[in-house]
Amino acid sequence: MTEKQQYESLKQLLTEYGYQYYVLDNPTVTDAEYDRKMRELLQMEERHPDWVTADSPSVKIGGRVLEGFETVTHAVQMQSLNDAFSAQEVEEFDRRVREGLDGPYEYVVEHKIDGLSVSLEYRDSLFVRGSTRGDGLVGEDVTENLKTIRSIPLRLKKEVPYLEVRGEVFMSKKSFARLNNEREEAGESVFANPRNAAAGSLRQLDSAVAAKRGLDIFVFNIQQAEGVEFSTHLEGLQFLRECGFKVIDNEKAFADIGGALEEIDRIGQMRPDLYYDIDGAVVKVNRLDQRQILGSTAKCPKWAVAFKYPAEQQQTKLLDIIINVGRTGVLTPAAVLEGVRIAGSTVRKATLHNLDFIREKDIRIGDTVVIQKAGDIIPEVVEVKTDLRDGSEREFSMPDTCPACGAPVRREEGEAAYRCTDVDCPAQLSRHIIHFVSRDAMDIEGLGPSVVDKLLSAQLIGSAADLYYLNRDHLASLEGLGEKSADNLLAALEESKQRGMARLLFAMGIRHIGLAASKLIARRFGSMDALFDATAQELAEIEDIGMIMAQSVVDFFAEPHTRAFLDKLKQAGVNTLHQSDTATDTRFAGKTFVLTGTLSSMGRKEASERIESFGGKVSGSVSKKTDYVVAGEEAGSKLTKAQDLDVTILSEQEFLTMLEGNE
């Protein structure tokens, strides 16, 4: 078998693994085996970038940074639904259906996912575009972010000339809780519910950020299709399953509204046990020809209605308020509650976010409070029963010193968060190291939270820099870490030394500085040493770096421990220079490129890297600031916009000539 055949086989294997895991929820290999195969694929694609196609599983990792989202006009309107809040209102909907139809009809009842509605378009079975619902007529092109959702097939399992489907992007309860915990630890505002979290994640300009958010999707409707026909909604759902889409199990039709109402009750009872959040159940007429007869209003179909479940609330006693210390030193208050059953589980703690939240609601220790799960997931205090106070309640104040290390606590002007001022605080250290070794940072395989905790407990490390001074004897002393694992970990540490300045900057966990900002800063300054002399004004001159971000970087590099930390890394051989610093050719400096269509000689990733290696910038959208649009085969709307704005358009051959250094 040739290497190209091995690559194609590996691509198919990973696609099938992803389908089994993310769509069928029936994994056939371990996560470690999947990750190993994915690394193998990425290494092949790095050696042969011209092999990469739009349906490669590597697309799911993300990485494209966009300047903004282009608009999409929906060929088929993405309508909303009329709501019903009682059985009587559902029965009234049934009366209207009965009056509008001549003859028997039946209903399908589906989960109403609390997420963000999107359209997915496929041409010749290949995913070509995805967009948000918007106002139903015009949405936003979020194709790159949708590609990172692992349950969305990049190529259909059936051959279809053209297919547009509608689905609901959502965030699982587990992913929602993890994301809010991370944001709370970082002193960032938390999302109110999974729907807001999903919407915010899908509209990230950096697709790598969206890829990390753990988004998922259920597809529930065919908007338009060529080459296939259906008579009922259930037939359409079965076709979607055969295409490889994730569809909620739903194979039953109900002959009357009584059966539909029983199904609504059944779904309501199972709601707490679902791994995703629903806020209702949708009742739809099954036969498509009868839907045509019933028709629609300007915004809503007359053949469907959404029954909305009420949010469950319970009353309990707030016994105490405790403090948790996060990775960035943020002190987060949490309520200790008298246990109460709500939405399928017993709740004994609730988030209180920050002191402003406590003051705004006038929450006191000893209060009787009303608890609700945000999105039926994270418990929160929604109301204080002040009329039940007896005078024994106590006001809460943030501590002056960190409960983990005793260092002074400081609140920055204009911020809600209180922070521990000790960078060596033990509560922060473990979380900081775990971030340092994470995939988007230094990507040190084999250094999970349990190994980090063992290294800290054994006092083998006192900072992330100490990782690079570990040896085989150190690791052999750790319980449960065999010789092979120790050797693999040392190899991974050695490999990580060449990640470069951008990844290292992100790994250091500077407030407000993500991976995209780290890349921009690294490209501008070239070395960590240069950052020590940078002013906030110089940093803020970088496009997309605001003054708050700039000041955060300056403050971080002004800390004495930062110089000591970097010196220790450099002595260990860690590269603190920007990866492209060795390149002296800056022919594209100050120039912005946009790539559109398919290039036959290389993939977009390689083209972007080549442009950036010569000092240029790659953007996802065309504007007056664009210098060049590189137009490959089947170039789309970006080419048209470039022509309208009189932007210089390069053919693939002209682009290659520029890369070779010729005018």
Within the chain, what is the greatest distance between any pair of CA atoms? 83
Q: How far apart are CA 412 and CA 423, in angstroms?
A: 16
DSSP string, 485-497: HHHHHHHHHHHHT
SS3 (DSSP) at 524: helix
Report the b/e string of 426-437 with b at 16+ CB within 10 A. Answer: ebbbbbbbbbbb
Q: Around 556, how many Cα atoms within 13 Å sit in the side-chain half-sphere?
A: 19
What type of residue is 495?
A: E
Here the tokens at position 474 are 């150190």
- 3-state SS record for 346-413: EEEEEECCCHHHHHHHCCEECCEEEEEEECCCEEEEEEECHHHCCCCCEECCCCCECCCCCCEEEECC
Here the tokens at position 310 are 């009420």
Cβ contacts of 347 within 8 Å, gap of 6 or more: 314, 316, 337, 339, 340, 341, 371, 373, 379
Q: Cα-flanking dihedrals φ and ψ of residue 346, to 5°?
A: -90, 125
Q: How far apart are CA 144 and CA 205, in angstroms?
A: 9
**Nearest partner of 335 among 324, 354, 319, judged by Cα:** 319
Handedness of CA 269, 270, 274, 277 (dihedral sign): negative
CB-based burial of residue 623 (10 Å sphere; 0-12 exposed, 13-18 middle, 19+ buried)? middle
- For tokens 């921009």, name the residue: 520
- 3-state SS record for 268-287: HHHHHHCCCCEEEEEEEECE
The answer to whether residues 628 and 652 touch, using CB atoms and an 8 Å cutoff, is: no
Report the b/e string of 80-94 with b at 16+ CB within 10 A. Answer: ebeebeeeeebeebb
Report CA-CA distances (Å) from 440 to 247, 461, 493.
31, 22, 15
Handedness of CA 194, 195, 201, 202 (dihedral sign): positive
* Residues labelled catalytic: 112
**Nearest partner of 371 among 407, 318, 424, 409, judged by Cα:** 318
**Beta-strand pair 628-631/648-651:** parallel
